[in-house]
């Protein structure tokens, strides 16, 4: 029983960075913008959060710094693809490559630094309850943040006027423009939100999941988050399912090693990447499923003629 | 007030000027960064861009590092021109190195002159095989080649680590995770004395020339350009998308695989946990800065190679982290994408139309 | 009715344009245009393709910023910075290509236009009220992608009406309607005008304008060339104002068809995307030396049928499409070309031609079998010579074979594309909307070329939205509705009314009655 509870907690912990980053990208893509720079924004968020935490001693200021850093990188991307209508694929790649370089550069003096980080909740009398204690009251605070964000985005997209506007812009920026919406402003908002989420996802890695900074510490999670959005067919709830699935796969490698299973560690480490490929192939093979759910203007530049 | 206005046709001048503007802007950004870090900007610039080329050996290193970048970028550009977004060249390079390295280790001790050519064939085949996976997934299942090819980079890297930690580890190598040093028959000859410049540079030049002929003079290259510029026109003309994807991926994979062989049969001389300092990713930038054009790519590869060397030199003389290279490379690509706006738009001064009275 | 802006003069015209000018890099779309619309007036803006009508309307609606000129609404000078500003002034626009969101419901689409703060129940009630009042029945809960084009237009109109517009711009509204629905639309517009709403009605269909409008402003090449009361003009006199000369008509002798060259046999094909149309057992035969025209409102499967015939889309059953007796259903477009097919698609830019490539390279796109490629290498001189032949044969106004495709006007590029396809000595010629968006002169030339091609024994298939065009050149006409094709009718033995009824289709009739 206890190991099962432990597994759920660990899976959620591994799923959280994917959930945060994928939710942000989902909102960005729902507005019709494809930002392939998630990995770069996550890394930059991770390093800035870590540095801020070292400097101020406050992990929460660190998280804020991560969000601002992610949004800052997203703003550069926004200028390129929204204001200057540059190719979204190329600009996203550029953002990822830039983020890798920037984070490595900025974090060089902090590779061996230690921080206290953000610890899982420990509420006297509640966390120690059997089963429900660790599940409801014993997670890392950022795990709750991610789950609240999930509910909020689901509600925002499908129950509010603002969400309706975002979906409309993602389907047809021309039509949204024609009925008087400022498409660029709305898309900037969604891109910045996506960047902030990726930044927080990075902050979670460097402050909560493994409180330290190392070069390229995201290890492709930004790219997996992109795949998750496709897997989820742009629906927030399914992002959670995907993130948990991948959290489980990530966990499996550590669990197998701990259990003394005689498999090369490198083979186990391949699992999340192989799983991403397999899942992507399975979900993409049904073109109707993708066409029906993908924002129709995804990746297509739009600029009003005035 | 200034605003962008669409040009009637894309500007050729802007197409050529944009990389130069981007390079200048990057240098300016570098000066600002150096100044902010408390270095005399001019001295830092000299350390970055001049000092590495002060010696014959330095120039050799410049060419040596540019060669794989150009080789990979030329292959990627063929795909990018056709909207085939292979970003997994780093993985294809790695698998090319594994294939060729395996051959070199299997025939260790041979003096046959056929070993080296066989290694290149194996490397190209390895890179193509690795690139074939995203191609198959895209054509059969419509899975995005961007994501799958990138995932395969991690898998290839882990595979190489698995080999050098295990089956292919040098038994006399003090437990270091690396293979035996290759025999002489598996190593590329140095073609310029007092440098490390080897015959792989000639291969790169040949491939660059072949790529130009393919894209500009062959009907197949034309078909790929059409597929990239106007997918609907490709469908209208009966150019199958799957054919375009396969061609684009396989060309990219083959070039990356060849580049991998050039590394392990050249400066490295054995298999190590990592056989490339991110050439496969940097080549993406090279391809764009070179305008996806083979000749442009040669210049861009030299520029990017200089940034690598400059980063190393800056580390030695200015105690700047070598990661600054990556930062500059990314910055360059940003500025390029921004400057590219002038290909399709021009800035015009407009007076706001006054309300009522004009 | 929305109240007039502060300081408005109740006696002033609803809209006055003075000296509106808009330059685009290659053309002057509007050149000093003056226009005045009275309250409650139905005012036609008349002009052929490329005359500058759409640009002018987009300027009034704030989507395009003019380079010079003044706009006054109800006597008050205004600057219209964007569609939001236009709507605040009481200006509404119904677009030719709608500005609706297919994945959303009617209520969502309308809520988006009305902004936040409307309860859904109240909105549903208002939608039903307004749509009943003006004879435009709508179900607020329906998804737009399930609706016919005519129904979608109703959504657009109701969406405008819910904002109490004082000026309504209608851009080519009848191009998507079957003839019976046009009468209903006109009744609605007359009701609105009687209530004091001004209507700007853009069209190139002269008889419609004569039936509906009280005043007309005629545009040619970006300038106003006349103003009149269309009810007192004839079609011929309006046409002269519009194009500066009489409407040309092709010579068209009776056909003497030979053997069947193109056959479609019970072709059934599922929709390719969630909002597409499925083909339902379509059969068709085109004989050598005849032109078969396919009529229909766009979005009824014509696009899908043409794609299946030309190989843009392959079909599972190979013998569902045959050239002569060869099953070609599984061959791609290039393989079908090898068997003698040539094809002019709907879109010029990005489909029939690559905008940034030269005309010579655009010739290579489909004509590579005409000796332009040898052993896989492009023969550049042959490629340029071929393009030059097309330019000469069809009088394409271009700088030469090296001119970039997008530098040509719509009419000239279309002539180049039609010429490129005809120069390949085809046996089957498929043309989708061959004169869409083309000036009258080029359109006449293209129609004549199609007739001449038929006279040389080629099997020709043409789809078009314009019934007049089909009647002008076709020997047989079949009608597409809801993915089904009617049996062909000899063009000389049928009437526009009969075809119009078939275009509406049984499905639409049922809904119209509901």
Domains of chain A: 2-293 (1.10.3470)
**B64: Cβ contacts below 8 Å, ≥ 6 apart:** B195, B196, B197, B198, B201, B266, B267
The complex's ipTM works out to 0.90
- Measured distance CA(C479)–CA(C500) in Å, rounded: 9
- Measured distance CA(B278)–CA(C251) in Å, rounded: 68
Q: Is B90 on the interface with A (CB under 8 A)?
A: no
- Measured distance CA(C369)–CA(B38) in Å, rounded: 65
Does CATH number 3.40.50.300 belong to domain C15-90+164-243?
A: yes
Give the confidence band of B318 by pLDDT, cuts at 50, 70, 90: confident
Q: Which residues of A touch B151 (CB under 8 A)?
A: 220, 223-224, 227, 273-274, 276-277
Please tell me the least confidently modeled range out of B69-78, C181-190, C318-327, C497-506: C497-506
- Measured distance CA(C340)–CA(C331) in Å, rounded: 13
β-pairing verdict for C489-490 and C476-481: antiparallel
Half-sphere exposure at residue C399, Cβ-oriented, CA atoms within 13 angstroms: 8
Q: Which residue has the higher pLDDT, C274 or A285?
A: A285
pLDDT the model gives residue B3: 74
Is the pLDDT score of A237 beyond 70? yes
How does pLDDT run across B125-144, given as a tens digit for each residue? 999 999 999 999 999 999 99
Is the pLDDT score of C481 beyond 70? yes
Is the pLDDT score of C5 beyond 60? no
Is the pLDDT score of A99 beyond 60? yes
Highest mean pLDDT among A24-28, A212-216, B45-49, C104-108: A24-28
pLDDT the model gives residue C513: 36
Q: Which residues of A touch C (CB under 8 A)?
A: 161, 164-165, 167-168, 171-172, 174-182, 287-288, 291-292, 296, 304-306
The average confidence (pLDDT) of chain B is 91
- Measured distance CA(C223)–CA(C51) in Å, rounded: 8
Give the confidence band of B15 by pLDDT, cuts at 50, 70, 90: confident
Of A174, A296, A304, the CB nearest to C99: A174
Is the pLDDT score of A146 beyond 70? yes
Is the pLDDT score of A250 beyond 50? yes
Is the pLDDT score of B82 beyond 70? yes
Q: What is the mean pLDDT of residues C10-32?
A: 88
Is the pLDDT score of B29 beyond 60? yes
Of B4, B323, B338, the CB nearest to A80: B338
Helix C380-394, helix C359-367: angle, nearest 10: 100
Of A165, A176, A178, the CB nearest to C95: A178
The helix/strand/coil state of C340 is coil
Question: Which residues, in sequence order, are bridge partners of residue B349?
Answer: B2
For residue C98, the distance in angstroms to the closest alpha carbon of chain B comes to: 22
Give the confidence band of C115 by pLDDT, cuts at 50, 70, 90: confident
Spatial CA neighbour of B64 closest among B52, B76, B75: B52
Please tell me the least confidently modeled range out of A213-217, B101-105, B152-156, C285-289: A213-217
Give the confidence band of A177 by pLDDT, cuts at 50, 70, 90: very high
- Measured distance CA(B142)–CA(A220) in Å, rounded: 21
Domains along chain B with CATH numbers:
2-347 (1.10.3470)
Q: How many residues does chain C have?
A: 514
**B51: Cβ contacts below 8 Å, ≥ 6 apart:** B58, B313, B317
- Show the 3-state SS of chain B: CEEEEECCCCCHHHHHHHHHHHHHHHHHHHHHHHHHCCCCHHHHHHHHHHHHHCCHHHHHHHHHHHHHHHHHHHHHHHHHHCCCCCCCHHHHHHHHHHHHHHHHHHCCCCCCCCHHHHHHHHHHHHHHHHHHHHHHHHHHHCCCHHHHHHHHHHHHHHHHHHHHHCCCCCCCCCCCCCCCCCCHHHCCCECCCCCCCECHHHHHHHHHHHHHHHHHHEHHHHHHHHHHHCHHHHHHHCCCHHHHHHHHHHHHHHHHHHHHHHHHHHHHCCCCCCCCCCHHHHHHHHHHHCCCCHHHHHHHHHHHHHHHHHHHHHHHHCCCCCCHHHHHHHHHHHHHHHHCHHHHEEEEECCCCCCCCC
**A182: Cβ contacts below 8 Å, ≥ 6 apart:** C82, C84
How does pLDDT run across C138-167, given as a tens digit for each residue? 889 999 988 887 888 889 999 998 888 999
Q: What are phi and psi of B22, to 5 degrees?
A: -65, -40
DSSP class of C243: H
**CA B236, B238, B240, B244 torsion-angle sign:** negative
**Are the C-beta atoms of A13 and A141 separated by less than 8 Å?**
no
Q: A304 and C274: CB-CB below 8 Å? A: no
Q: Which residues of C touch B226 (CB under 8 A)?
A: 354, 357, 365
Q: C351 and B233: CB-CB below 8 Å? A: yes
pTM of the model: 0.90
Please tell me the least confidently modeled range out of A154-158, B44-48, B136-140, B299-303: B44-48
For residue B287, the distance in angstroms to the closest alpha carbon of chain A comes to: 11
Q: C63 and A180: CB-CB below 8 Å? A: no
Query: What percentage of chain C carries pLDDT values higher than 90?
Result: 60
Please tell me the least confidently modeled range out of B163-172, B209-218, B337-346, C328-337: B337-346
| Domain(s) of CATH 3.40.50.300: residues in chain C | 15-90+164-243, 248-340+426-514
Q: Which residue has the higher pLDDT, C206 or B182?
A: B182
End-to-end CA distance of chain C: 29
For residue A115, the distance in angstroms to the closest alpha carbon of chain C comes to: 46
Chains that touch B (3 or more CB pairs under 8 A): A, C
For residue B218, the distance in angstroms to the closest alpha carbon of chain A comes to: 26
Tokens 């809960």 locate to C141
Q: What is the mean pLDDT of residues B4-12?
A: 76
Q: Which residue has the higher pLDDT, C372 or C438?
A: C372
> Mutating which of A75, A87, A98 best tests the B interface, going by the most B Cβ atoms within 10 A?
A98
Q: What share of chain C is helix, strand, coil (3-state, %, to 5)?
A: 40, 25, 40
Q: What is the mean pLDDT of residues C309-319?
A: 95
Q: Which residues of B touch C (CB under 8 A)?
A: 5-10, 217-220, 222, 225-226, 229-230, 232-233, 235-240, 350, 352-358
Kindly report the CATH number that applies to the domain delimited by C248-340+426-514: 3.40.50.300
Q: Which two tokens mark A222?
A: 């930004």
- Measured distance CA(A223)–CA(A276) in Å, rounded: 9
Give the confidence band of A52 by pLDDT, cuts at 50, 70, 90: very high
Give the confidence band of B355 by pLDDT, cuts at 50, 70, 90: very low
How does pLDDT run across A9-22, given as a tens digit for each residue? 899 999 999 999 99
Q: What are phi and psi of C287, to 5 degrees?
A: -95, 160
Query: What percentage of chain B carries pLDDT values higher than 90?
Result: 70
CB atoms within 10 A of CB B42: 10
Of B5, B226, B240, the CB nearest to C365: B226
Q: What is the mean pLDDT of residues C98-113?
A: 91
Of B284, B323, B334, the CB nearest to A76: B334
How does pLDDT run across C43-81, given as a tens digit for each residue? 999 888 778 888 999 999 999 989 999 999 999 999 999
**Are the C-beta atoms of C210 and C235 separated by less than 8 Å?**
yes
CB atoms within 10 A of CB C97: 13
Q: C19 and B235: CB-CB below 8 Å? A: no
Give the confidence band of A66 by pLDDT, cuts at 50, 70, 90: very high
Q: B323 and A93: CB-CB below 8 Å? A: no
- Measured distance CA(A271)–CA(A261) in Å, rounded: 15
Q: C63 and A176: CB-CB below 8 Å? A: no
For residue A226, the distance in angstroms to the closest alpha carbon of chain B comes to: 8
Is the pLDDT score of C514 beyond 70? no
Is the pLDDT score of C252 beyond 80? no
For residue A160, the distance in angstroms to the closest alpha carbon of chain C comes to: 9
pLDDT the model gives residue C420: 97
For residue C414, the distance in angstroms to the closest alpha carbon of chain B comes to: 15
Q: A230 and B331: CB-CB below 8 Å? A: no
């Amino acid at each position: 029983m206890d190991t099962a509870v432990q597994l759920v907690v660990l899976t959620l912990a591994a799923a959280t960075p994917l959930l945060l980053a994928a939710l942000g990208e989902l909102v960005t893509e729902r507005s019709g913008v494809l930002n392939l720079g998630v990995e770069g924004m996550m890394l930059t968020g991770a390093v800035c959060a870590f540095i801020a935490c070292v400097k101020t001693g406050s992990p929460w200021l660190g998280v804020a710094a991560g969000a601002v850093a992610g949004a800052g990188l997203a703003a550069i991307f926004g200028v390129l693809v929204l204001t200057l209508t540059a190719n979204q694929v190329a600009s996203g790649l550029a953002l990822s490559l830039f983020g890798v370089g920037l984070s490595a550069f900025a974090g060089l003096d902090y590779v061996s630094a230690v921080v206290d980080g953000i610890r899982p909740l420990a509420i006297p009398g509640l966390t120690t309850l059997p089963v429900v204690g660790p599940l409801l009251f014993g997670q890392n605070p950022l795990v709750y943040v991610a789950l609240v964000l999930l509910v909020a985005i689901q509600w925002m997209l499908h129950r509010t006027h603002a969400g309706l506007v975002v979906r409309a812009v993602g389907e047809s920026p021309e039509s949204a423009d024609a009925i008087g919406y400022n498409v660029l402003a709305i898309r900037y908002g969604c891109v910045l939100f996506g960047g902030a989420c990726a930044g927080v996802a990075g902050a979670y890695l460097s402050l909560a999941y493994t409180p330290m900074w190392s070069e390229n510490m995201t290890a492709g999670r930004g790219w997996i988050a992109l795949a998750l959005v496709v897997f989820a067919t742009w629906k927030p709830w399914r992002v959670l399912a995907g993130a948990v699935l991948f959290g489980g796969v990530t966990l499996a490698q550590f669990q197998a090693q701990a259990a003394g299973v005689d498999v090369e560690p490198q083979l186990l480490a391949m699992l999340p990447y192989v799983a991403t490929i397999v899942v992507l192939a399975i979900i993409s093979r049904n073109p109707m499923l993708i066409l029906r759910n993908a924002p129709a203007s995804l990746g297509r530049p739009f600029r009003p003629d005035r | 007030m200034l605003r962008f206005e669409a040009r009637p046709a894309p500007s050729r001048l802007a197409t050529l000027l944009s990389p130069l503007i981007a390079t200048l802007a990057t240098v300016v950004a570098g000066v600002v960064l150096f100044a902010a870090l408390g270095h005399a900007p001019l001295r830092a610039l000299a350390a970055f861009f001049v000092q590495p080329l002060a010696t014959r050996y330095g120039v050799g290193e410049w060419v040596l590092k540019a060669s794989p970048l150009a080789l990979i970028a030329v292959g990627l550009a063929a795909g990018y021109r056709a909207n085939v977004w292979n970003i997994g060249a780093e993985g294809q390079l790695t698998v090319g190195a594994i294939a060729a390295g395996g051959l070199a280790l299997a025939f260790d001790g041979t003096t046959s002159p056929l070993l080296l050519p066989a290694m290149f064939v194996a490397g190209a085949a390895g890179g193509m095989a690795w690139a074939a996976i995203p191609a198959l997934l895209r054509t059969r299942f419509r899975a995005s080649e961007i994501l799958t090819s990138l995932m395969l980079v991690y898998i290839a890297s882990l595979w190489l680590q698995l080999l050098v930690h295990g089956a292919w580890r040098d038994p006399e190598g003090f437990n270091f995770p690396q293979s035996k040093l290759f025999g002489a028959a598996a190593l590329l000859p140095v073609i310029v004395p007092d440098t490390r410049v080897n015959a792989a540079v000639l291969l790169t030049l040949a491939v660059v020339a072949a790529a130009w002929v393919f894209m500009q003079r062959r009907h197949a290259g034309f078909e790929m350009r059409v597929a990239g510029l106007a997918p609907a026109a490709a469908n209208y003309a009966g150019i199958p998308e799957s054919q375009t994807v396969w061609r684009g991926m396989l060309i990219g994979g083959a070039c990356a695989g060849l580049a991998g062989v050039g590394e392990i049969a050249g400066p490295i001389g054995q298999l190590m946990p990592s056989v490339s300092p991110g050439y496969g990713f940097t080549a993406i930038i090279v391809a764009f800065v070179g305008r996806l054009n083979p000749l442009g790519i040669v210049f861009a590869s030299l520029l990017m190679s200089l940034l690598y060397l400059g980063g190393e030199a800056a580390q030695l003389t200015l105690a700047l982290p070598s990661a600054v290279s990556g930062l500059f490379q990314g910055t360059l690509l940003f500025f390029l994408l921004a400057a590219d706006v002038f290909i399709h738009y021009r800035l015009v001064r407009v007076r706001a139309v006054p309300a009522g009275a004009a | 009715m929305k109240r007039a802006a502060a300081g408005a003069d109740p006696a002033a015209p609803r809209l006055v344009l003075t000296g509106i000018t808009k330059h685009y890099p290659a053309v002057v779309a509007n050149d000093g245009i003056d226009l005045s619309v009275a309250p409650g007036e139905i005012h036609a803006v008349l002009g052929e393709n490329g005359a500058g009508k759409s640009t002018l309307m987009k300027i009034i609606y704030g989507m395009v910023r003019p380079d010079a000129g003044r706009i006054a609404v109800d006597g008050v000078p205004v600057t219209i910075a964007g569609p939001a500003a236009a709507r605040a002034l009481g200006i509404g626009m119904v677009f030719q290509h709608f500005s609706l969101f297919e994945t959303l419901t009617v209520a969502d689409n309308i809520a988006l236009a009305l902004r936040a703060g409307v309860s859904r129940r109240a909105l549903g009630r208002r939608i039903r009220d307004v749509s009943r009042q003006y004879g435009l029945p709508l179900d607020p809960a329906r998804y737009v992608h399930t609706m016919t084009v005519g129904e979608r237009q109703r959504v657009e109109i109701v969406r405008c009406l819910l904002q109490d517009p004082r000026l309504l711009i209608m851009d080519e509204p009848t191009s998507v309607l079957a003839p019976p629905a046009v009468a209903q639309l006109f009744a609605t517009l007359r009701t609105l005008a009687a209530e004091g709403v001004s209507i700007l009605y853009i069209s190139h269909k002269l008889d419609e304008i004569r039936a509906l409008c009280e005043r007309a402003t005629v545009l040619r090449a970006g300038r106003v060339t006349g103003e009149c009361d269309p009810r007192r003009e004839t079609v011929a006199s309006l046409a002269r104002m519009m194009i500066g000369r009489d409407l040309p008509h092709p010579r068209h002798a009776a056909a003497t068809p030979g053997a069947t060259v193109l056959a479609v046999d019970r072709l059934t094909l599922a929709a390719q995307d969630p909002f597409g149309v499925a083909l339902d057992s379509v059969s068709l035969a085109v004989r050598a030396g005849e032109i078969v025209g396919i009529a229909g409102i766009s979005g009824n499967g014509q696009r899908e049928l043409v794609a299946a015939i030309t190989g843009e889309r392959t079909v599972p059953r190979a013998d569902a499409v045959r050239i002569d007796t060869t099953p070609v259903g599984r061959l791609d477009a290039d393989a079908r070309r090898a068997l003698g097919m040539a094809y002019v698609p709907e879109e010029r830019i990005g489909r029939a031609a690559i905008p940034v490539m030269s005309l010579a390279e655009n010739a290579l796109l489909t004509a590579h079998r005409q000796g332009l490629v040898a052993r896989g290498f492009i023969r550049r001189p042959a490629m340029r010579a071929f393009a030059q032949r097309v330019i000469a044969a069809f009088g394409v106004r271009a700088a030469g074979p090296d001119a970039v495709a997008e530098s040509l006007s719509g009419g000239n590029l279309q002539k180049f594309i039609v010429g490129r396809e005809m120069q390949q000595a085809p046996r089957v010629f498929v043309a989708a909307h061959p004169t869409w968006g083309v000036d009258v002169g080029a359109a006449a030339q293209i129609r004549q070329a199609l007739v001449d091609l038929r006279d040389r024994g080629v099997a020709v298939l043409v789809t078009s939205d314009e019934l007049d065009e089909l009647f002008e050149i076709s020997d047989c006409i079949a009608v597409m509705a809801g993915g089904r094709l009617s049996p062909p009718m000899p063009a000389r033995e049928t009437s526009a009314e009969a075809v119009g009824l078939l275009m509406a289709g049984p499905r639409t009739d049922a809904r119209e009655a509901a």
